[in-house]
Structure 1
Amino acid sequence: MFQIDIVEQCKRNDRKAQLKLYNQYCHGMFCVAMRFLKNEDDAEDVVQESFIKAFSRISQYRGEVTFGAWLKRIVVNKSIDFLKSKQLTTVELNEGYMHIAEDEDWTVDDTVTVNEVIQAIGNLPEKYRYVLQLFLVEGYDHHEISEILNISYTTCRTRLLRGKGQLKEILKSNKYVARS
């Protein structure tokens, strides 16, 4: 039976013809979805939704391209829509919920000067640089820094801890070995 005959039968809502088309294209469409989604369960869902859409709109199929090409476009669009919807539900990580390990050791090698530390602080990412500068150089506490930078107390402590770690790495790379 020719593909056009099967498609025509599907347009008449023939379930056996739909099953034939499904069996003919499901594996190939699954591979297409997998290239986008990289997850078998998500790919299976997208393929199923694509076939449902294809069969419900099969009357729109004009035969200008092969049925497989028409179906593939549906699968690709459904995959992209799935990825977009997944991005919309992705929540930005809030540093305020992170556990902070207490580490109050701020000692560095005696040969490191204040100016070298200040210069190293200047090489940190902005969010860490400001917290470290306010804490180490200006002498503010966590509550004051939180108010100045309009961040939570926990976020301030987290950024200070991470900034300190990055500062030690910068000092180490500059041959000013920070003690652990």
Structure 2
Amino acid sequence: MESELLLECQRNDRNAQRKVYEKMAGKLYSVCKRYLKNDEDIEEVLADTFYKIFTKIDQLQNHDIFEGWARKIAVNECLQKLRNTKALHIELEDSHAESSDTTDTISFEKDILSLLNFLPEGCRAIFNLFAIEGYPHKEIAMMLSISEGTSKSQLNFARKKLQELLINQNI
């Protein structure tokens, strides 16, 4: 992201904010989509994310890390949404979600992302944080107010469930 554009955002320039929104909305939407199923929730979290970005941008001292910083805000907002809906307090029971259309031949990445939707929200959040975002279990545990053991067992459950789904859908 261009440093001058971010400086203009720090001065509350609405045009600059619109440009940043246009450049980042798709990327941050994809991040939110990995954590949340409901489009309304995703849109709400995305709006909250941009609000936080634009109100806290003056705290960003290194413009080179803007995208990572914005992504971290999006992840934290998704986790906050999950905490507020109590979706992280899940059972380790097998969900019975089945795909209604296994004949789709969309790209592998989209297949994997769609399979994440069949995981319980807590497992999906932990899988995203560990496997995609690269957080260690200790940090995940602190972020979600759970034990490291719970984080590890939820990740293990998510991996097994994804393997089953991959086999069942012949991906």
Normalised by the size of structure 1, how large is the TM-score? 0.47
Larger Rg: 1
Q: Given the two structures, how large is their TM-score scaled by the length of structure 2?
A: 0.49
Asked which structure has the greater RCO (Cα within 8 Å, sep 6+), the reply is 2
